[in-house]
Amino acid sequence: MRAYERLLNYVVIHTTSNEEAETTPSTKRQFDLANILVKEMKELGIEDAAVDEHCYVTGHIPATEGCKNAPRIGFIAHLDTAPDCSGENVKPVIHENYDGGDIELGNGRRLTTALFPHLKKLRGRTLITTDGTTLLGADDKAGIAEIMTLIETLAKEKIPHGAISIAFTPDEEIGHGADLLDLAKFCADFAYTVDGGPENEIEYENFNAVKAVFKIKGISVHPGEAKNRMVNAALLACEISSMLPPAETPEHTEGREGFYHLTDIRGDVETAEIAYIVRDHDVAFFASKQETLRRIEKTLNEKYGSGTVALTITEQYLNMIEKIRPHMHIVETAKECISKQGMDPLEVPVRGGTDGARLSFRGLPCPNLGTGGYAFHGPLEHISAEGMDAVVHVLVSIVSAYSQR
Q: Do 35 and 80 belong together in one domain?
A: yes
CA-nearest of 75, 131, 37 to 355 is 75
- The H or E element that residue 208 is part of is strand 208-217
Domain end: 317, 334, 368, which one?
Answer: 317
Q: Do 302 and 312 belong together in one domain?
A: yes
Q: Do 32 and 161 belong together in one domain?
A: yes
Average pLDDT over residues 87-91: 98
Cβ-contact 378, 84 below 8 angstroms? yes
**Separation between Cα atoms, residue 309 and residue 297, nearest integer Å:** 6
Q: Give the rounded percent of residues in the chain with a pLDDT score beyond 90.
A: 93
CATH number for the domain spanning 241: value is 3.30.70.360
Residues catalogued as catalytic: 80, 172
Q: Do 41 and 74 belong together in one domain?
A: yes
Q: Give the rounded percent of residues in the chain with a pLDDT score beyond 70.
A: 100
Note down the domain range covering 380.
3-206+319-403
CATH number for the domain spanning 25: value is 3.40.630.10
| Contacts (Cβ under 8 Å, ≥6 apart) of 76 | 166, 167, 168, 169, 191, 192, 193, 194, 195, 355, 356, 359, 366
Note the pLDDT of residue 353.
73
pLDDT digits (tens, 9 = 90+) for 200-245: 999 999 999 999 999 999 999 999 999 999 999 999 999 999 999 9
